[in-house]
Amino acid sequence: MDAFIEQRLWDIKSSIEPTQAQKEAAQRSHTNLRTLLDSGNIGNRITGSYLSGSYARDTAIRPIDDVDIIFLIDPSQWAQNLFEAVKGQPSPASVLQTFSNAIRYRYPVSSVYYQRRSVRLSMFHLDIDVVPAIPQDQYGNVILIPDSNQDQWIKSAPKIHAEKATRVNQLRGGRLKPLIKLLKKWNSGIPATASLKSFCIETLATRIFAEVNFETLLDGLILFWDFVSRFGAQTQFYRWPYNYNVSWGGLFETLNVPDSAGTNSNTAAGVDIQRRLKFAEVAARSRDRLLSAKNALYTSTANNYISEALYI
């Protein structure tokens, strides 16, 4: 039965892959935006750009409805008061406003939204989040991105996130990214009161499977769900000697999933205790459904359990 389940999981993974047409449309759109912003006054302030987010890491599922672009900037090109000049950082709000104005000028019939940490260009088929960033090294591996609410620049490392995911994917025989796509599909289908941000799901999987091997998607799903069932003191089938730097304390403490790039940011920020407990409960239930599929006598029964496990 394991062979049937494994093939079914790969088939599901294929069905949630972005289509070639979606990939090509996204590529045309982000390439055009990057070209347009490489001109005029804003072009003189930009020193480089690269893709970020799940689209860039090849962990996105269909449809591709958003793309993130990091635009490296020369901070000296913005007027700064004495305090900002000493820090070498202009006001986050002023940088975001500059990008917002530049995008509106180039896309007069599309919607442009000024956001807390980015500017969103919303088109009929795709949203593009433009993230200005101050590079902290010559390659832009570590960057500072604006937070207009807190009026400060915060550390991020999207290139390192991507490199870590690729490295672990290779270590696990190309199975990590397909597994992440299945987990994102599952996360999108579970009750809204239990789901986590997709980047948190990806970070959890990368942290766990950087250390723990899995030979099949079936085993990977069961292991992931078994590990996170600990967040709510659910019954476990495996002995987990390590927490992989994930912390949740007791039943009355919040969840902390540090990003894999070492920036000290918590990818589970904002997850309250009730959400953590519900997430663990749903994960344990999905694990049990998949274990039932392994023990099913008929493929039709196994298939029903798979669908229940993945909430599809």
**pLDDT tens for each residue of 3-37:** 999 999 999 999 999 999 999 999 999 999 999 99
Q: Residue 50 and residue 57: Cα distance in Å, rounded?
A: 12
What is residue 83's predicted lDDT score, i.e. its pLDDT?
Answer: 65
Domain boundary among 140, 156, 172: 156
Say yes or no to pLDDT of 290 above 70: yes
207 and 122 in one domain? no
- Top pLDDT among 249 and 198 is at 198
**Cβ distance 257 to 268 under 8 Å?**
yes
Q: Percent of the chain having pLDDT more than 90?
A: 90
Give domain status of residue 24, yes or no. Answer: yes
For residue 151, the enclosing domain spans: 20-156
The sign of the CA dihedral 83, 85, 89, 95 is positive
Among 69, 98, 250, smallest CA distance to 158 is for 69
72 and 165 in one domain? no
Among 153, 43, 151, 148, smallest CA distance to 102 is for 43
**Strands 152-156 vs 143-147: parallel, antiparallel or unpaired:** antiparallel
Name the pLDDT band for 140 (thresholds 50, 70, 90): confident
Q: What is the mean pLDDT of residues 122-142?
A: 93
Q: What is the mean pLDDT of residues 294-303?
A: 96
Domain with residue 56: its CATH number is 3.30.460.90
Give domain status of residue 112, yes or no. Answer: yes
214 and 196 in one domain? yes
Instruction: Specify the pTM.
Output: 0.93
Please report which residue ranges of 213-298 form alpha helices under DSSP H.
217-228, 273-294
Among 52, 51, 43, smallest CA distance to 73 is for 43
Strand boundaries in the chain, DSSP class E: 46-52, 66-73, 111-114, 119-122, 127-135, 143-147, 152-156
181 and 126 in one domain? no
Say yes or no to pLDDT of 160 above 70: yes
185 and 146 in one domain? no
Give domain status of residue 9, yes or no. Answer: no
Say yes or no to pLDDT of 82 above 70: no
Give domain status of residue 301, yes or no. Answer: yes
Name the pLDDT band for 254 (thresholds 50, 70, 90): confident
**Cβ distance 214 to 182 under 8 Å?**
no
167 and 306 in one domain? yes
What digits encode the pLDDT tens for the residues 43-68? 999 999 999 999 999 999 999 989 99
Q: What is the mean pLDDT of residues 268-285?
A: 95
**Cβ distance 193 to 277 under 8 Å?**
no
Domain boundary among 89, 121, 156: 156
112 and 218 in one domain? no
**Cβ distance 110 to 121 under 8 Å?**
yes
281 and 234 in one domain? yes
Give domain status of residue 277, yes or no. Answer: yes
Name the pLDDT band for 233 (thresholds 50, 70, 90): confident
Say yes or no to pLDDT of 79 above 90: no
**Cβ distance 12 to 310 under 8 Å?**
yes
Q: What is the mean pLDDT of residues 199-213?
A: 97
Q: What is the mean pLDDT of residues 89-117?
A: 96
Domain boundary among 156, 191, 216: 156
End-to-end CA distance of the chain: 20
Give domain status of residue 100, yes or no. Answer: yes
Buried b (16+ CB within 10 A) or exposed e, 119-145: bbbeeeebbbbbbbbbbeeeebebbbb
Say yes or no to pLDDT of 312 above 70: yes
What is residue 84's predicted lDDT score, i.e. its pLDDT?
Answer: 64
Q: Residue 1 and residue 269: Cα distance in Å, rounded?
A: 39
Give domain status of residue 13, yes or no. Answer: no
Among 203, 190, 187, smallest CA distance to 267 is for 203
Angle of CA points 11, 13, 16, to nearest 5°: 110
Q: What is the mean pLDDT of residues 247-263?
A: 86
List of long-range contacts for 174-177, beta carbons under 8 Å, 24+ apart: 175/214, 175/216, 175/217, 175/220, 176/205, 176/206, 176/209, 176/220, 177/57, 177/58, 177/59
Q: Residue 193 and residue 195: Cα distance in Å, rounded?
A: 6
What is residue 85's predicted lDDT score, i.e. its pLDDT?
Answer: 60
Continuous segment of H or E residues that includes residue 278: helix 273-294
Give domain status of residue 14, yes or no. Answer: no
Say yes or no to pLDDT of 251 above 70: no
Average pLDDT, the chain: 94
Name the pLDDT band for 174 (thresholds 50, 70, 90): very high
187 and 128 in one domain? no
DSSP 8-state secondary structure symbol assigned to residue 232: G
**Cβ distance 294 to 217 under 8 Å?**
no
Determine the 3-state secondary structure of 81 from DSSP: coil
If one counts the domains in the chain, the total is: 2
